[in-house]
Amino acid sequence: MSAIAEAVVRRNVARPSLVTNAALVVLGSLVVAGLAQLSIRLPFTPVPISGQTLGVLLVGASLGSVRGGASLLLYLAEGAAGLPVFAEGKAGASYLLSPDPLHTTGGYLWGFVLAAFVVGFLAERNWDKRIGSAIGAMLIGELIIFVLGLMWLSTALGVPFQAPGQTFNDALEFGLYPFVIGEILKLLIAAGLLPASWRLLGGSPPP
């Protein structure tokens, strides 16, 4: 009976209004845009270190699958429209269209959308309730970002995964290895900040 009563209560709790949802989606895109400007360019890789992934993980876990994914789609739209929201203040639709030596990060950007959706999906299923499962959800999000990012980067640099004389390690050297420690730290920070983000949103899981 208690389970039935809880389900009834949840169904009858007022959902956020369209205006509130829209505001949260915009806020999520701005969080990622702001953290993207915390970036460092390393001389040996075309991919900058930035705070973007921290924002993606927090936005996905805090806003849920639909709003989190929508926030990141809006973020990409802002950058494509010319707003300097990508890392290092970059912008332009060309970053999202096709990989080439001047646009090596599009896979990571598209990965942000899928990662936010998946992390939000897992949060809606209570993965965010314990630190261990929250870290697990965010690790899955990180894997999504880097799989798509490395695929794009490999094509952009002309480093096929199994080309003669080349291996997948070439792409890993540019697009993964320099970021491992930083990404682990960001994952832990995001998991630690998650309770605070819940309090800001009213203390309830994503609807």
pTM here is 0.83
For residue 133, give both structure tokens.
Answer: 């499962």
Cβ atoms of 124 and 133 closer than 8 Å: no
Q: Where are the domains of the chain?
A: 19-200
Q: What is the pLDDT of residue 11?
A: 38
Q: Which CATH number fits domain 19-200: 1.10.1760.20, 3.30.750.24, 3.40.225.10, 3.40.50.720?
A: 1.10.1760.20
Predicted pLDDT of residue 166: 55
Q: Which positions ≥6 away from 17 have C-beta within 8 Å?
A: none
C-alpha 30: how far from its chain's center?
13
Angle between helices 131-156 and 52-80 (to 10 degrees): 50
Of the candidates 38, 36, 110, 124, the one whose C-alpha atom is nearest the C-alpha of residue 73 is 110
Task: State how far the Cα of 91 lies from the Cα of 102, in Å rounded to an integer.
Answer: 12
pLDDT tens, residue order, the chain (207 aa): 333 334 333 433 446 789 999 999 999 999 999 999 998 888 778 888 899 999 999 999 999 999 999 999 999 999 999 999 999 999 999 999 988 888 889 999 999 999 999 999 999 998 888 888 889 999 999 999 999 999 998 888 776 555 544 556 777 888 888 888 888 888 888 887 776 666 666 554 455
d(CA 47, CA 160): 18
